[in-house]
Structure 1
Amino acid sequence: MNIKEILCKQRNYFNSGQTLGLDFRLDALKILKAAIVKYEKEILAALKSDLNKSAFEAYATEIGTVLEELNYALKNLPRWMRIKRVGTPVLHFKSTSYRVSEPYGISLIMSPWNYPFQLTIAPLIGSIAGGNCSVVKPSAYSPATSAIIAQILGECFEQHFSAVIEGGREANQALFDERFDYIFFTGSVSVGKTVMAAASKNLTPVTLELGGKSPCIVDKNVNLDLAARRIVWGKFLNAGQTCVAPDYLLVHRDVKRELINGMQKYILKFYGRNPCENEEFPRIINLKHFNRLRGYLNHGVVLIGGDCNENRLRIAPTIVDNIDWENPIMQEEIFGPILPLLEFSDISEVIQAVNSRSKPLALYLFTTSKEVESRITQSISFGGGCINDTIVHLATSKMPFGGVGESGMGSYHGKWSFDTFTHTKSILKKSNMIDIKLRYPPYGNKLKILKKLFGL
């Protein structure tokens, strides 16, 4: 069945009203959850094949987070779907007002290769909870995971409700040529611009979960050992192929040497003396990205790591010093296990440097100073972040996750996923018993009365 046929069947199915009921949505989410539990081993094997993810890392960052999102949606969806009564201004007496969350219709979900299971299924949960039909396009760069996603969703749902389209750029272009009611894209800034351009042809609303250069700031007032441990974990998780990974490190010159020593200690502890041979350390997704990352090592001074294994597509956790803002590694998101260092002497330097560039998807600050914490969080715009940790701000269903500016638009997780995939429809119901004549012409000297009703 081609894309046009799938969309035709989905539109007919959506228009039939089958997806609108609470029971239908809950049943679909339960079916999806059961299938994920059933195919846990196969999902783990696919993630091992595509990215060499260990079972622990794959479950923690992919399967576990998806199941948590499913449980949260199953528990809260009845409340999310309720009609919300709101107050009505006296000017509209006698009336009642309420809000209804209605599905958009057919949503297109395009996911990346770095967390190929989680970043496909998490937005799908929102689409299903919202009452939409869905077309899912996983990344061609992670073929094993794309295949198991197609198998799972194929067993769970008919294509007229949820369909998977596999393939590369040709499949993407074919999807861009069609009209959807909502597009949810996770990926690079450059492809995000292409998605938004395609959406503009039909004025289709979009959510763009992109990326950018997310700073990690280490103040002089800090628990250095804890900072080193948490930075190393967050940066080298999934071999740095994480959209919210610390992209570069801004460290106060007074603690720079001690922080480097701490990171070296934890890199050795976590990944051993030869990380390229460590079977728990993920690999770079393909040779193209491997060569791009290896090219960064020609600049600056490698303090830690720098080892590369082309046959295994591995690059060891690497710390690079003697970097400035004009260096090639500072011109685009690194998306790999290389962490450049820049030092500062006053926090105002950090604020000026970060604010002079595109708004980051994430920001991480390590400090024990309330003043520094307040200055950074209030002076810099960013999608989200952590104080004294990395990455974990997105691992919750109780806060939205999303970017700002070039790092993205829109947000999801938990209730925000439901809100993203639904339109809030406002309705005012007017009584037929009373009809105040004030609003009708002729207006004469009614202006004073009108101002009083406005409370002016």
Structure 2
Amino acid sequence: MEDIVNTLRKSFNTDTTKSYEWRKTQLLAIEKLLDENKEQFVEALKLDLNKPNYETIVYEIGTVKSSINFCLNHLKTYIEPQKVKPIIQARAVYSTYVQYQPFGVCLIIGAWNYPIYLTLTPLIGAISSGNCAILKPSEMAPKIAELLENLFPKYLDTNFIRVVNGGVTETTQLLEQKFDHIFYTGNGTVGRIVMQAAAKHMTPVVLECGGKSPVYIDETADLLVTARRILWAKFTNSGQTCVAPDYVLCTKETQENIIPFLKQILQEFYGGSPKDSNSFARIINERHFDRIIKLIDETKVVVGGISDRNEKYIAPTIMFNVTVDDKVMNEEIFGPVLPFITITDRNEAIKFINSRDKPLALYVFSNKEEVYNDFKNRTSSGSFCYNDLMVQLALECLPFGGVGESGLGRYHGIYSFETFSHQRAILKGGFFADSLSSFRYPPYSDSNISRGLLATSEFKSCSIL
């Protein structure tokens, strides 16, 4: 591991990665890799997760290509120093800029649930910012990890970008090395380990974790549309999505009113037997299967509850009248189980949400502007989505990241470029007009103090051009 890191650091010190041409070439190479090997990726994800072809092509490959295209359209602008202007008095003396500099050698630790998207999207940010990178795919999606390791040398410059596969041992060895930035996607337990390892070298980190993302439905929501959107977001990838809705808060009346729509939509999505549908994925492994099964209270199941361990299949399952004491509310579900908790009104819902860890996403369905404003202003979450779910993840114009237990840092679009760059302050002056700042030189006097305070106050006023 040390040799790999040292090789990449030597390569970074050649300044090759700082050129626009190198960054563009590598980004286009990733796009070509995805295009020319699409069927292999589809097959690998079928073996790892039984992921439907649509979800692989659209949600994995398609979103990565979209990120690349967005980045290429803006890259020339990103890499130029951004001019800022101080007050007019200082403008006569100084030119001021923000320069985005690459950190150096970055470590990207990917996740298994979207092993293409959650591994390559951070890499796009690292490359566009001019960094070298080591990619560590999740060993829990072994077919994709193996495919990435085999394909990368054929498309990308391995002097600057490497794939390292392995399990806990290899990841631990990587974390012992000195990196200039670490980007991790996964659970909070491992996130803390990553952060502790990074602290030894004062390495900046981004931790993209998860949590229990709530949904609130009020009495004015269109329940048919609400049911369709919630069930799509919840059962895509068999619920193994970090921003999937984890539980629903609504009144007893709304809970009863929405059940016919939930049953109708599930029938439309997956037919009478979701197990036989080619649109429904499987659980990643037996350990997670066993964990999810233990969260299901059969006495509260109104839809689903059927499972098959041999196929790692758990049917889309909905539970009603769940309480905070139920097992399903004690951890992130990360599977195809959706519990409903009844509350009296939105104030109780907001109080409930605020009493728990800040979620990665918060979803609200209503037709009242006051409800939108109430949740927007009185809660905190990584993202907030009104009358839809998960779409915020696909928009490059929005930052994606958590807050508190749900994560640290952000990426996507310009935010990826900022995350993988040091924003260096640059002030350029000359030798003329030194008399304008003579008040800073000793010997000090009362006049010096007055002029110095005035200049300090005025110099604080800057704006982006």
TM-score in same-fold range (> 0.5): yes
Q: Does 1:141 align with 2:143?
A: no
Cα distance in 2, alignment partners of residues 406 and 227 from structure 1: 28
Cα distance in 1, alignment partners of residues 142 and 427 from structure 2: 50
Partner-residue secondary structure (3-state), 2:99: strand
1:362 maps to which residue?
A: 361
1:19 maps to which residue?
A: 17
Cα distance in 1, alignment partners of residues 151 and 276 from structure 2: 32
Q: Does 1:50 align with 2:52?
A: no
2:105 maps to which residue?
A: 106
Amino acid at match of 2:410: S
CA contact (8 A) 1:6 1:159 kept: no
Cα distance in 1, alignment partners of residues 450 and 189 from structure 2: 56
1:129 maps to which residue?
A: 128
Residues 244-289 of structure 1, C-alpha deviations (whole Å, 9 max, x = no match): 0000011122221121221111112111222123232100000000
2:451 maps to which residue?
A: 449
Cα distance in 2, alignment partners of residues 251 and 57 from structure 1: 30
1:380 maps to which residue?
A: 379
1:252 maps to which residue?
A: 251
1:297 maps to which residue?
A: 296
Q: Does 1:59 align with 2:57?
A: yes
Note the aligned Cα RMSD (angstroms): 1.3
Cα distance in 2, alignment partners of residues 123 and 152 from structure 1: 18
TM-superposed CA distance for 1:344, in Å, is 1.4
1:243-392 aligned within 5 A:
243-298=242-297, 301-392=300-391
CA contact (8 A) 2:85 2:91 kept: no
Cα distance in 2, alignment partners of residues 285 and 117 from structure 1: 15
Cα distance in 2, alignment partners of residues 294 and 451 from structure 1: 66
TM-superposed CA distance for 1:437, in Å, is 1.4
TM-score, L = length of structure 2: 0.95
TM-score, L = length of structure 1: 0.97
CA contact (8 A) 1:276 1:309 kept: no
Q: Does 1:214 align with 2:213?
A: yes
TM-superposed CA distance for 1:92, in Å, is 8.0
Amino acid at match of 1:442: P
TM-superposed CA distance for 1:365, in Å, is 0.5
Cα distance in 1, alignment partners of residues 321 and 445 from structure 2: 76
Partner-residue secondary structure (3-state), 2:282: coil
Change (3 A) 1:424 1:153: same
Cα distance in 2, alignment partners of residues 92 and 70 from structure 1: 37
CA contact (8 A) 1:299 1:327 kept: no
TM-superposed CA distance for 1:434, in Å, is 2.2
TM-superposed CA distance for 1:451, in Å, is 3.2
Amino acid at match of 1:41: E
TM-superposed CA distance for 1:299, in Å, is 6.2
Partner-residue secondary structure (3-state), 2:115: coil
CA contact (8 A) 2:321 2:342 kept: no
CA contact (8 A) 1:87 1:97 kept: yes
1:235 maps to which residue?
A: 234
CA contact (8 A) 1:52 1:280 kept: no
Cα distance in 2, alignment partners of residues 8 and 421 from structure 1: 19
Amino acid at match of 2:182: I
2:38 maps to which residue?
A: 40
Q: May I ask how many residue pairs the two structures share in their alignment?
A: 454
Cα distance in 1, alignment partners of residues 90 and 32 from structure 2: 51
Q: List gaps (5 residues or longer) in structure 1.
A: none
1:8 maps to which residue?
A: 6
Amino acid at match of 1:26: K
CA contact (8 A) 1:6 1:160 kept: no
